[in-house]
């Protein structure tokens, strides 16, 4: 039984209530059920420090659309949620909070700091989860995980030990990203590249034993303190004779060799480059190939160390100025040129990152990358859109060993123990009792923690109970789809893929759906510095979660960025209002007839037309959603609901509903209810709240649209003939409306409409549709005939295929009033033409006014002249 709906749609009145209902009913929860096919997605875990932003909103909206769709299709759908401990971000937040309290992190000690961090996590860590709920996310919150919970921590430890025992994890000195402010190594994912204004310093390095020099250019003069070679390309004729010779390193006054290496671009700059293996990733590789010394010239805080000689103790930028000054004084500086270049900064503190050779823990990547590469090549892993596989493969095929240790306290501590006596390293789940090498019983655990990405790389299977052989893991893994932005393909997707293969022998998901960024109206990336960020929670409060979700997916195509604007959110809210009002109209009329006995035979052509259109829509939308074309699917839904259903069909059936004698009223209401129900179900994944509220008001057979069945194409509602018939009527209505608009005839002015066609079938169609055709065509009466008999000679006409529509001119227009109106308009236009001509004939105006102003007057004159000609022609016709 239908229930009454509020007069106006107010999302704030329904959203929290409906979300609570869904949670209480456990609609989001999934348990192993072997009678059903599973469908699993894992939520990219947001940081516990996070505040919901538009990127989160888009990412989670797309996942929610997908999981709601699959749930309605009958899958045992699991959306596995959770949060990430975010080592650096959390440590920075807690450290700053302690500073505000006057507490020094070091004085507090590791255990004290971790206690405070867990307290902070309990207080603030769940904030983003509650915000995701406001968005309508139907994740299985009963299964919520945290990357540092007991199960995930056990998985991390297990993987570390396995990889170490296999020889894939090792400790060594290699080049890494170092943040001098946070004083930790950081991953590539935490390095943001930004264009910065800088310089190229051109410096002469004297060639030993000659009076010649070799010129190089650098953006970081201070690193020359650690230079150990000059490199040139092996095929560069300019330097062939110099390979093997020595140059004198300016200021340091140390001889270093000239080496030949194909890494050098002989077309760039002078074709000679300085090699500083300890402070540049490419130089590090060159150094390995030529057995060059690695000289680290920096302390952890970014000051110059003892290897910098007289510059020791200086800040890196202070040392740069001093070195440049000395180079100039000693005649080594050739020139300085301005140069804008890409500089890596730490995404947390925005400090310029220093590449440094440090002793760290690494994962060997060469072998683990192979199955991840093969997965894309053999089709086990598919990217949507497909071109992202090139990005994925390029990164994997050029992969470097992964630095996994971090100089932080918050995170998974590395399970490596050092013998206090002999230094033997023991990797184990617990501190060993005795050293296997020297028998000592005292050990110290490694101080470092693991890179946050190490734990999130295990997310698809650690959240399902791995390393235990759980029923959940067996049933829900591998997962089906991963939804993520294109900015973390390398960092997270790749790590999950190679970790999945290494630990479970399976690819962790079959599809990766890539989305773009949400940009502002001008196409700029949202950022604090630009002040153009939009708070999704404020949008939800003002317009509702459904309007935000619809906005984020409208026009959205996989892999492409989208622009957010207030205009779009208002359009989404207006659409919600349209759906609400159409539903209220139907509910207000539904009690007027018994729908239980309506059969196909009772349906009119208009009913069959809209049912057939809705039936085709089911097939198209389902197909689009299976292909992840959510933006295309929702555009079709919007067009169908707004135009076909609301603007056409509802207007078509109003005369039947308002006529107590009409015997087709029940058929109209049956059709309204069926088409609205189909539309709501197709719309539900996009706009879950409004569709649930209307659905539960519309019927009481099912308690929630969330657990109702997804619509399927039904052969019995495939009415192609009736579709063609009604499209003919619509075509005639459009032409009538256009003709009336051209003549400025208001909708309130009714006129006789004559449909003339030699074809009996066409006449039958218009006869059968007279009731709604008259309403839609603003007709006082409709005549359907085979010839022009009885039609006034002054009738205006419009042509459609196989028919001509006539309307008597005198019924459309009061001739005397129209002549008076047009004569007044002609006078006005004559005045405008005279004024424009006067200005354009004024030499002072033409010579002194801005060119745009003069051009505007010319355009006005042209426009008014054309309008005056049209008015004159119309007057001429009327006066005849």
Annotated binding site for ATP: 528
> SS3 for 261?
coil
Instruction: Give a three-class secondary structure readout of 327-390.
Output: HHHCCCEEEEEEEEEEEEEECCCCCECEEEEEEEEEECCHHHHHHHHHHHHCCCCEEECCCHHH
Q: Specify whether the backbone of 379 is left (phi greater than 0), alpha (psi in -120 to 50) or beta.
A: left
Burial 180-201 (b: 16+ CB within 10 A, else e): bebebbbbebbbeeeeeeebbb
Distance (Å, rounded) from C-alpha 506 to C-alpha 206?
A: 57
Cβ–Cβ under 8 Å, residues 594 and 662: no
Distance (Å, rounded) from C-alpha 455 to C-alpha 503?
A: 13
Tokens of 609: 């037309």
Distance (Å, rounded) from C-alpha 149 to C-alpha 262?
A: 48
Task: Specify burial of residue 440 (Cβ count, 10 A radius: 0-12, 13-18, 19+).
Answer: middle
- DSSP label at residue 702: S
Distance (Å, rounded) from C-alpha 494 to C-alpha 432?
A: 34
Distance (Å, rounded) from C-alpha 724 to C-alpha 716?
A: 17
Residue 662: how many other CB atoms lie within 10 Å: 16
φ and ψ at residue 81, rounded to 5 degrees = -100, 170
φ and ψ at residue 186, rounded to 5 degrees = -135, 155
Residue 704: how many other CB atoms lie within 10 Å: 15
Candidates 10, 66, 50; CA nearest to 132 is: 50
Distance (Å, rounded) from C-alpha 539 to C-alpha 530?
A: 19
> SS3 for 651?
helix
In Å, what is the CA distance from 722 to each residue of 179, 314, 609?
70, 85, 5
The sign one gets for the Cα dihedral 765, 768, 774, 779 is positive
Q: Which residues are annotated as a binding site?
A: 528
Distance (Å, rounded) from C-alpha 373 to C-alpha 368?
A: 9
Q: Return the bridge partners of 519, or none.
A: 525, 563
In Å, what is the CA distance from 407 to each residue of 88, 105, 336, 419, 621?
10, 14, 37, 20, 50
Chain center to CA of 809: 55
């Amino acid at each position: 039984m239908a229930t009454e709906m509020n007069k106006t749609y107010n999302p704030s009145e329904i959203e929290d209530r409906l979300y609570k209902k869904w949670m209480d009913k456990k609609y989001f929860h999934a348990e192993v059920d072997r009678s059903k096919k599973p469908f699993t997605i894992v939520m990219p875990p947001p940081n516990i420090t996070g505040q919901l932003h538009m990127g989160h909103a888009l990412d989670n909206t797309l996942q929610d659309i997908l999981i709601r769709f699959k749930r309605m299709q009958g899958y045992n759908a699991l959306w596995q949620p959770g949060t990430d401990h975010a080592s650096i971000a959390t440590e920075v937040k807690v450290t700053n909070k302690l500073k505000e309290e006057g507490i020094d992190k070091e004085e507090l000690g590791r255990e004290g700091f971790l206690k405070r961090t867990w307290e902070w996590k309990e207080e603030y860590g769940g904030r983003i989860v509650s915000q995701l709920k406001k968005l309508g996310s139907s994740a299985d919150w009963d299964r919520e995980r945290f990357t540092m919970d007991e199960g995930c921590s056990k998985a991390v430890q297990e993987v570390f030990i396995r990889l170490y025992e296999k020889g894939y994890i090792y400790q060594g000195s290699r080049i890494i990203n170092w943040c001098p402010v946070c004083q930790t190594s950081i991953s590539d994912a935490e390095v943001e590249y930004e264009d910065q204004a800088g310089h190229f310093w051109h410096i002469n390095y004297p060639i030993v034993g000659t009076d010649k020099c070799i010129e190089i250019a650098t953006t970081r003069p201070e690193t020359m303190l650690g230079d150990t070679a000059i490199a040139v390309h092996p095929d560069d004729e300019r330097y062939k004779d110099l390979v093997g010779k020595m140059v004198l390193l300016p200021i340091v006054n140390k001889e270093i060799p000239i080496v030949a290496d194909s890494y050098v671009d002989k077309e760039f700059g002078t074709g000679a480059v300085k090699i500083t293996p300890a402070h540049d990733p490419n130089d590090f590789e060159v150094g390995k190939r030529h057995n060059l010394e690695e000289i680290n010239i920096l302390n952890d805080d970014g000051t110059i160390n003892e290897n910098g000689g007289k510059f020791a103790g200086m800040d890196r930028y202070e040392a740069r100025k001093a070195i440049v000054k000395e180079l100039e004084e000693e005649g080594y500086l050739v020139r300085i040129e301005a140069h804008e270049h890409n500089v890596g900064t730490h995404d947390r503190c925005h400090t310029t990152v220093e590449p440094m050779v440090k002793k760290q823990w690494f994962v060997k990547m060469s072998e683990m990358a192979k199955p991840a590469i093969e997965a894309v090549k053999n089709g086990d892993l598919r990217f949507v859109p497909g071109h992202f596989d090139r990005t994925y493969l390029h990164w994997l095929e050029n992969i470097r060993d992964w630095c996994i240790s971090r100089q932080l306290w918050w995170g998974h501590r590395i399970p490596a123990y050092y013998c206090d006596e002999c230094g033997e390293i023991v990797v184990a789940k617990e501190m060993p009792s005795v050293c296997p090498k020297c028998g000592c019983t005292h050990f110290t655990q490694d101080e470092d923690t693991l890179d946050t990405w190490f734990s999130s790389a295990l997310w698809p299977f650690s959240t399902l109970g791995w390393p235990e052989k759980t029923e959940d893991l067996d049933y829900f893994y591998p997962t089906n789809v991963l939804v993520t932005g294109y900015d973390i393909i390398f960092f997270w997707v790749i790590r999950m893929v190679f970790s999945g293969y290494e630990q479970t022998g399976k690819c962790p998901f079959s599809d990766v759906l890539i989305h773009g960024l949400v940009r502002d109206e001008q196409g700029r990336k949202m950022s604090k510095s630009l002040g153009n960020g939009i708070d999704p929670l404020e949008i939800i409060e003002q317009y509702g979660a459904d309007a935000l979700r619809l906005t984020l997916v409208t026009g959205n195509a996989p892999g492409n960025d989208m622009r957010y604007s207030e205009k779009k959110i208002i359009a989404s809210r207006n659409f919600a209002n349209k759906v609400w009002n159409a539903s209220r109209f139907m509910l207000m009329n539904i009690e007027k007839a018994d729908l239980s006995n309506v059969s196909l035979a009772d349906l009119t052509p208009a009913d069959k037309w809209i049912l057939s259109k809705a039936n085709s829509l089911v097939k198209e939308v389902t197909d689009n959603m299976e292909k992840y074309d959510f933006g295309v699917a929702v555009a079709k839904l919007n067009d169908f609901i707004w135009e076909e259903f609301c603007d056409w069909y509802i207007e078509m059936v109003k005369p039947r509903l308002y006529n107590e004698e009409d015997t087709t009223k029940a058929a109209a209401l049956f059709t309204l209810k069926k088409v609205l129900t189909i539309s709501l179900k197709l719309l539900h994944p996009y706009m879950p709240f409004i569709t649930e509220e209307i659905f539960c008001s519309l019927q009481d057979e099912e308690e929630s649209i969330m657990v109702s069945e997804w619509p399927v194409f039904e052969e019995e509602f495939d009415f192609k003939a009736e579709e063609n018939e009604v499209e003919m009527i619509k075509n005639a209505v459009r032409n009538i409306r256009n003709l009336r608009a051209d003549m400025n005839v208001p909708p309130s002015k009714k006129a006789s409409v004559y449909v003339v066609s030699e074809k009996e079938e066409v006449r039958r169609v218009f006869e059968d549709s007279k009731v709604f055709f008259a309403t839609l065509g603003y007709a006082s009466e409709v005549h359907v005939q085979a010839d022009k008999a009885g039609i006034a000679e002054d009738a205006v006409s419009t042509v459609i295929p196989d028919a001509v529509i006539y309307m008597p001119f005198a019924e459309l227009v009061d001739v005397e009033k129209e002549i008076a109106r047009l004569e007044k308009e002609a006078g006005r236009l004559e005045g405008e033409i005279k004024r424009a001509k006067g200005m354009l004939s004024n030499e002072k105006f033409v010579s002194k006014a801005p060119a745009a102003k003069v051009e505007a007057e010319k355009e006005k004159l042209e426009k008014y002249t054309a309008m005056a000609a049209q008015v004159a022609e119309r007057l001429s016709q009327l006066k005849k």
